Chain A
Amino acid sequence: DAKTTQPNSMESNEEEPVHLPCNHSTISGTDYIHWYRQLPSQGPEYVIHGLTSNVNNRMASLAIAEDRKSSTLILHRATLRDAAVYYCILKTGANNLFFGTGTRLTVIP
Chain B
Amino acid sequence: GAVVSQHPSWVICKSGTSVKIECRSLDFQATTMFWYRQFPKQSLMLMATSNEGSKATYEQGVEKDKFLINHASLTLSTLTVTSAHPEDSSFYICSARGWASGSADQETQYFGPGTRLLVL
Interface residues in chain A, defined as those with a beta carbon under 8 Å from any beta carbon in chain B: 32, 34, 36, 38, 41-46, 49, 51, 57, 87, 91, 93-94, 96-102
Interface residues of B (CB under 8 A from A): 1, 4, 6, 32, 34, 36, 43-46, 49, 91, 93-95, 97, 100, 102-103, 105-114, 116
Contact A46 B93 (CB under 8 A): no
Q: What is the chain A residue whose CB lies nearest that of B57?
A: A96
7 closest A-B pairs by CB = A43-B111, A99-B44, A99-B43, A44-B111, A43-B93, A43-B114, A43-B113
> Is the Cβ of A46 less than 8 Å from the Cβ of B46?
no
Contact partner of A44 among B44, B46, B100, CB < 8 A?
A: B44
| A42 with B114: CB separation less than 8 A | yes
Assembled-state Cα–Cα distance A57/B49 (Å): 29
Q: Interface of chain B, helix or strand or loop or mixed?
A: strand
Q: Say whether B106 contacts A44, CB under 8 Å.
A: no
Complex interface: chain A residues within 8 A of B32 (CB):
94
Given A32-B106, A91-B106, answer yes or no on A101-B34 (Cβ-Cβ < 8 Å).
no
Cα distance A87–B93 in the bound complex, in angstroms: 16
Interchain CB contact under 8 A, A49 and B93? no
Residues of B with C-beta under 8 A to A100? 43
Contact B34 A96, beta carbon cutoff 8 Å: yes
- A51–B108 Cα gap in the complex (Å)? 13
Of the candidates A34, A38, A42, A98, the one whose C-beta lies within 8 Å of that of B46 is A98
Cα A46 to Cα B106 with chains together (Å): 13
B1 and A46 contact, CB distance less than 8 A: yes
